[in-house]
Chains A and B, each alone.
Chain A
Amino acid sequence: MSAPSAPAAGVAVSGGRRLAPREGEVIDRGAPLRFRWDGREHSGYRGDTIVSALLAGGVTVFSRSFKYHRPRGVLSASFVDPGCTLQVGDEPNVRGGHRRVEPGMNVRPQNVWPSLRFDAKSANQLVGRFLGAGFYYKTFIKPERLWPAYEQVLKRFATGGKVSPQTPHGVYDKRYAHPDVLVAGGGPAGMAAALGAAEAGAAVMLVEEDYDLGGHLRWGDASQRALAAELVAAVNAEAGIEVLTNSVVTGRYDDNWVAVCQRRHPDRVGGGFGPAGSPVIERLVKARAGGLVVAAGLIERPYVFEGNDRPGVMLSSAARRLVKLWAVRPGSRAVVLTANPEGDAAAEDLASAGVEVARVLDARSGGDVVRALGARDGSLAAVELGDGTRVACDLLVTAVGWSAPTSLLNMSGDRPVYEPRAARFLPGGRLPAGVYVTGGLAGDASAERLVEHGRAVGAAAARGEDPAGVEALGVDEHPEIFRGRTHGMVDFSEDVSSKDLVAAAGEGYDSIELMKRYTTVTMGPSQGKLETVNAVAVLSEATGRSIAETGTTVWRPPYAPISLGALAGRIHEPVRYSPMQPWHEAHGARPLVAGQWIRPEHYGDPEAEVASVRSGVGIIDVTPLGKLDLRGPDVPELLNLLYVNKWSKLAVGSVRYGVMCADDGVVLDDGVTGRLCEDQWLMSTTSSGAATVWEWAEAWLQTEHPGWRVQVTPVTTAYASINIAGPASRELLGRLCTDVELSGEAFPYMHLRAGTVAGVEGCWMWRIGFTGELSYELHVPAGYGLHVWESLLAAGGDLGVGPFGIEAQRIMRLEKGHFIVGQDTDGLTKALGAGLDWLVKVDKEDFVGKPEIAWQAGERYQRLVGLQPLDGDVVPPEASQIVQGERRIVGRITSSRRSPTLGRSICLGFVEPELAGAGTVVTVLAPDGRRVPARVMEHHAHYDPEGVRLRG
């Protein structure tokens, strides 16, 4: 064909496939752009999809199919187009039929090796019979020893692009929304529903998967395009409607919790949480919608016949979109198979685009295509008709019917029902209150009637009214056309043919759900949108059951693929610091993440910190210790219930150590609780257990003992907590506290006092310590924490006071044999196993966990013991097993450190009861295979087991 010098409107310019400017096109011819495809430079216009730009440049093959590596071209020219999944830069699996092309994009084909033109794996076409239904299950079974080899083979077959490990993190975001009405779908009915709802006073969110509102009107005739423009203008003018385009409703969950994925917004810059100026790649909107209006429209269904996947065979909606939206001529010589007015319109549109329409086959009066014949490169060369004649063409357009994407209705509890008159599934009428349907999903009508229906449904959704009040849409007669005389592809994503489905049915997989799993039909990236009804129809044909009897598969979220980045969204993770954090940072503290808290692990040399505490004095920031203020006359009752030991007689001014177990007897938490005055107690918990213990206390108070008069208030962050530890701690505290007598007689071990420290009134001082030294734990009003901390350091310079971190404390507590809940105990450690026999008082009437702990006495259980490797220079790693013989596990190491005080390694661990006697030598098996003999000690404590130092 020679190029006319002055092309008529709609006729191709030069030899390319791009048409002259036409009404309704979405490309901006004033904004040409260049990008790369498969290593070569291509051009397009802003508004082009990747596929429309490539097709305009003459590219017709975009990928190789999943199993057989058959060449694939355009089928639907939309998001679900199975042959148009591409790699863009580092981003795999980009939907080329949807994604707009951008300047400089580097687009490559996927699933080709070594290249798109010459694909070695296309040899699979020749061995197709080995790759038929259930081939995974049949082929790669025996022998078992070859499984790793099979895995390698299967990996080579896997589709999908490549993710580069160097890909920089993009900005993903999330948002919560509370629209009164959420409309899924921005076609005529959806836009009208949004308008109807907004006019009734609702705040509306209108979500459209495409880049523009308008739905099928956009590629309709002039009056339809005018109607679309009118509706779009009205929507944009309505302040009550928020429009999200290039966005998709991915799921509907309980009570209209609706997930919306806003895709790629290169024009939306992250608001201060990403690298400056970086675009938001995707945003997950979690919407709680008052009403949900589903206006998802209809998806055109492929026709099943031999060669239906050849490049050049496409749906009528694809051909019309290519011509009307992107001004691309989809072929030169076309055959059109049509069973509906849209197919008829496609033939007209092709003619208007200068395509020679060689034959229009009317399926309503018996017109049919038997097979599509290929050229040497696999693309379409001719079609064979029912009478055996062959028509040469490079384009075959089919319009044989529609599928209803009922996913959101299924997710709402509905089961669609097949309507043979319309040759598609319709809503089953089992929707919960608050879910509405309009548009093509609900029935067939003129655009004007769809608008009227949508408007009424939108208004009903806004008012929360029953949609039964809206006059229902009818359905148009449509012939039931699914498969022709030959077998062809049903699932283009998974390479599943109708022959495979018939074979599977013959093997007994004759329920649609079983067939789906066996053949993987509808399980590919198109998620059944194109394939499901054809699969059902082929199964129905194979079994002789009707389509209605065969039923359809259950559609589950997500409706469309959603990236992990979007699901992760923006990270909202709270971090907690003590009031002394600025000091820690300024003094080189190495940060340690402990739950939500960031704490100093050490300030450079933890062993030196230990030595300093043991010989002089040190201070540690223990603010994260959980603290609960307990008030009321029944607090002793609560303490007696929560702790395994007795609390009735705790005197004012005293503190006591306690352990809590759950009702299964497993150690839950431990800590010290003090009685501040007659009816006020302060309970301390482990740092990680603070929230758990609070909820635990509330649970018992609110459910089992609502009559007890107890008020629990969490005060963890109301106080800054500092432990002053070491033989010189009394001297140091005495320099800053003048109103409390600190002598051992006046303020003995396990007591508390209130007083003034460094001028700060209302400080609580507890004579307790985890380190085993004389020590005082201060709880000071949080706002003065830093002041008291700095005052202690300033006042004790001559005493050698310094800060110590968590690591030094861990070493010292291990020297003292104190266990840490969650480190030395686990989810199976009951009280007696942890060595708490001395603490548990089973003669109490009740406490949480009492029955299990009482029974444990008669059971066989591992015991927590102190252990010392015979070679004190060997520090076995924590979690090393203790073994007998070759590898019989008889225990484990739970804590292990080098003790700078003792100059040797020390451990805590669990051993079988027979091995728990002092002096027993056990074998520790380190992860590297070393066997470390270790002696079981008499005490948990390796240092000062009598507790002389802390009582000083």
Chain B
Amino acid sequence: MMRIPCPYCGPRNSSEFAYKGESRPRPEVGSVTPAQWRAYLYDHANPEGWVAEGWYHRAGCRRYLKVERHTLTNEVRSVTPAARP
């Protein structure tokens, strides 16, 4: 089981976290087309390589985190709060 270095709690088992999927900006609801919206909901890049994704530290600090993870090695490169600017 991979470990995620939580910026608030330190390195923790990934089982403490809930996986929230690839991080993508939510489209502007006023102008979005159905195709754009459904791409946001259902299409995932699923790359072999680095991916930015959301993890919720459910059994810890309960913060939503943005984790940069390598999908081949599970190496974690950065963990930051998930707040969008």
List the 9 shortest-distance A-B pairs measured between CB atoms, nearest first. A706-B83, A254-B2, A702-B64, A257-B1, A255-B3, A703-B82, A254-B74, A846-B29, A851-B37
Residue numbers in B under 8 Å from A695 (CB-CB): 18, 56, 58
Pick from A288, A664, A703: contact of B83, CB under 8 Å: A703
- Least CB distance, B70 to chain A, in whole angstroms: 11
Cβ-based interface call for A855 (8 A): yes
Q: A704-B26, A850-B29, A851-B37 are in contact. Are A698 and B1 (CB under 8 A)?
A: no
Task: Count B-side interface residues using an 8 Å CB cutoff.
Answer: 26
Docked CA distance A608–B37 (Å): 50
Cβ-based interface call for A480 (8 A): no
Cβ-based interface call for A607 (8 A): no
Docked CA distance A703–B21 (Å): 13
Scoring B residues 50 to 85 as 1 if CB is less than 8 Å from chain A, else 0, what string do you get? 000010101000111000000001100000011110
Docked CA distance A483–B2 (Å): 42
User: Could you tell me if A699 and B13 are in contact, using CB atoms closer than 8 angstroms?
Assistant: no
Cβ-based interface call for A663 (8 A): yes
User: Could you tell me if B41 and A702 are in contact, using CB atoms closer than 8 angstroms?
Assistant: no
Q: A695-B18, A699-B64, A704-B26 are in contact. Are A663 and B3 (CB under 8 A)?
A: no
Q: Which residue of A lies closest to B63 (CB)?
A: A702
Cβ-based interface call for B34 (8 A): yes
- Least CB distance, B76 to chain A, in whole angstroms: 9
Residue numbers in B under 8 Å from A513 (CB-CB): none
What are 10 A-B pairs with beta-carbon distances under 8 A? A253-B1, A257-B1, A257-B2, A413-B73, A663-B40, A698-B62, A699-B56, A703-B54, A706-B83, A851-B37
Pick from A288, A663, A851: contact of B13, CB under 8 Å: A288
Docked CA distance A253–B14 (Å): 12
- Least CB distance, A707 to chain B, in whole angstroms: 9
Pick from A664, A704, A845, A850: contact of B84, CB under 8 Å: A704
Interface residues on A, range: 20 to 34
User: Could you tell me if B34 and A855 are in contact, using CB atoms closer than 8 angstroms?
Assistant: yes
Q: Which residue of A lies closest to B73 (CB)?
A: A413
User: Could you tell me if B56 and A851 are in contact, using CB atoms closer than 8 angstroms?
Assistant: no
Residue numbers in B under 8 Å from A253 (CB-CB): 1-2
Cβ-based interface call for A629 (8 A): no
Docked CA distance A702–B64 (Å): 6
- Least CB distance, A879 to chain B, in whole angstroms: 27
Q: Which residue of B lies closest to A259 (CB)?
A: B1
Scoring B residues 6 to 20 as 1 if CB is less than 8 Å from chain A, else 0, what string do you get? 000000010000101
Cβ-based interface call for A465 (8 A): no
- Least CB distance, B71 to chain A, in whole angstroms: 12
Cβ-based interface call for A119 (8 A): no
Cβ-based interface call for A852 (8 A): yes
Docked CA distance A663–B27 (Å): 11
Docked CA distance A663–B65 (Å): 20
Residue numbers in A under 8 Å from B56 (CB-CB): 695, 698-699
Residue numbers in B under 8 Å from A855 (CB-CB): 34
Cβ-based interface call for B32 (8 A): yes
Residue numbers in A under 8 Å from B64 (CB-CB): 698-699, 702-703
Docked CA distance A148–B26 (Å): 52
Q: A254-B2, A254-B74, A664-B41 are in contact. Are A702 and B34 (CB under 8 A)?
A: no
Residue numbers in B under 8 Å from A846 (CB-CB): 29-30
Interface positions of A from 832 to 859, Cβ below 8 Å from B: 845-846, 850-852, 855
Docked CA distance A288–B3 (Å): 10
User: Could you tell me if A254 and B37 are in contact, using CB atoms closer than 8 angstroms?
Assistant: no
Residue numbers in B under 8 Å from A288 (CB-CB): 3, 13
Docked CA distance A664–B30 (Å): 16
Q: Which residue of A lies closest to B26 (CB)?
A: A704
Q: Which residue of A lies closest to B72 (CB)?
A: A413
Docked CA distance A703–B58 (Å): 15
Docked CA distance A288–B29 (Å): 45
Q: A703-B84, A851-B32 are in contact. Are A254 and B41 (CB under 8 A)?
A: no
Residue numbers in B under 8 Å from A845 (CB-CB): 30
- Least CB distance, B5 to chain A, in whole angstroms: 10
Scoring A residues 668 to 700 as 1 if CB is less than 8 Å from chain B, else 0, what string do you get? 000000000000000000000000000100110
Interface positions of A from 856 to 881, Cβ below 8 Å from B: none
Docked CA distance A342–B44 (Å): 57
**Extra 4 A-B pairs, beta carbons < 8 Å, given A254-B1, A699-B56, A851-B29:** A288-B13, A664-B41, A695-B56, A698-B64
User: Could you tell me if A663 and B58 are in contact, using CB atoms closer than 8 angstroms?
Assistant: no
User: Could you tell me if A663 and B2 are in contact, using CB atoms closer than 8 angstroms?
Assistant: no
Docked CA distance A664–B43 (Å): 13
Docked CA distance A855–B29 (Å): 12
Docked CA distance A663–B36 (Å): 13
Q: Which residue of A lies closest to B66 (CB)?
A: A703
Residue numbers in A under 8 Å from B62 (CB-CB): 698
User: Could you tell me if A852 and B84 are in contact, using CB atoms closer than 8 angstroms?
Assistant: no
Residue numbers in B under 8 Å from A664 (CB-CB): 41
User: Could you tell me if A852 and B37 are in contact, using CB atoms closer than 8 angstroms?
Assistant: yes
Docked CA distance A165–B13 (Å): 37
Q: Which residue of A lies closest to B41 (CB)?
A: A664
Q: Which residue of B lies closest to A257 (CB)?
A: B1
Residue numbers in B under 8 Å from A663 (CB-CB): 26, 40-41
Q: Which residue of B lies closest to A253 (CB)?
A: B1
Docked CA distance A698–B63 (Å): 8
Docked CA distance A695–B84 (Å): 17
Residue numbers in B under 8 Å from A706 (CB-CB): 81, 83-84
Docked CA distance A253–B18 (Å): 19
User: Could you tell me if A702 and B2 are in contact, using CB atoms closer than 8 angstroms?
Assistant: no
Docked CA distance A413–B62 (Å): 32
Docked CA distance A253–B15 (Å): 13
Q: Which residue of B lies closest to A844 (CB)?
A: B29
Q: Which residue of A lies closest to B28 (CB)?
A: A846
Docked CA distance A254–B82 (Å): 24
User: Could you tell me if B20 and A699 are in contact, using CB atoms closer than 8 angstroms?
Assistant: yes
Docked CA distance A706–B64 (Å): 11
Residue numbers in A under 8 Å from B54 (CB-CB): 703
Docked CA distance A255–B3 (Å): 7
Interface positions of A from 232 to 282, Cβ below 8 Å from B: 253-255, 257
Docked CA distance A328–B45 (Å): 63
Residue numbers in A under 8 Å from B13 (CB-CB): 257, 288
Residue numbers in A under 8 Å from B20 (CB-CB): 699
Residue numbers in B under 8 Å from A703 (CB-CB): 54, 64, 82-84
User: Could you tell me if A702 and B82 are in contact, using CB atoms closer than 8 angstroms?
Assistant: yes
Residue numbers in A under 8 Å from B84 (CB-CB): 703-704, 706
- Least CB distance, A640 to chain B, in whole angstroms: 13
Residue numbers in A under 8 Å from B63 (CB-CB): 702
Residue numbers in B under 8 Å from A413 (CB-CB): 73
Residue numbers in B under 8 Å from A255 (CB-CB): 1-3, 74
Residue numbers in B under 8 Å from A699 (CB-CB): 20, 56, 64
- Least CB distance, A697 to chain B, in whole angstroms: 11
Docked CA distance A664–B34 (Å): 11
Residue numbers in A under 8 Å from B40 (CB-CB): 663
Docked CA distance A663–B39 (Å): 12
Docked CA distance A851–B20 (Å): 21
Residue numbers in B under 8 Å from A254 (CB-CB): 1-3, 74
Residue numbers in B under 8 Å from A704 (CB-CB): 26, 84
Residue numbers in A under 8 Å from B18 (CB-CB): 695
Docked CA distance A413–B54 (Å): 26
- Least CB distance, A863 to chain B, in whole angstroms: 22
Interface positions of A from 403 to 431, Cβ below 8 Å from B: 413
Docked CA distance A255–B20 (Å): 21
Residue numbers in A under 8 Å from B74 (CB-CB): 254-255
Docked CA distance A254–B74 (Å): 7
- Least CB distance, B23 to chain A, in whole angstroms: 8
Docked CA distance A846–B32 (Å): 12
Residue numbers in A under 8 Å from B73 (CB-CB): 413
Docked CA distance A702–B81 (Å): 8
Residue numbers in A under 8 Å from B82 (CB-CB): 702-703
Scoring A residues 603 to 641 as 1 if CB is less than 8 Å from chain B, else 0, what string do you get? 000000000000000000000000000000000000000
- Least CB distance, A664 to chain B, in whole angstroms: 5
Interface positions of A from 477 to 491, Cβ below 8 Å from B: none
Docked CA distance A255–B62 (Å): 23
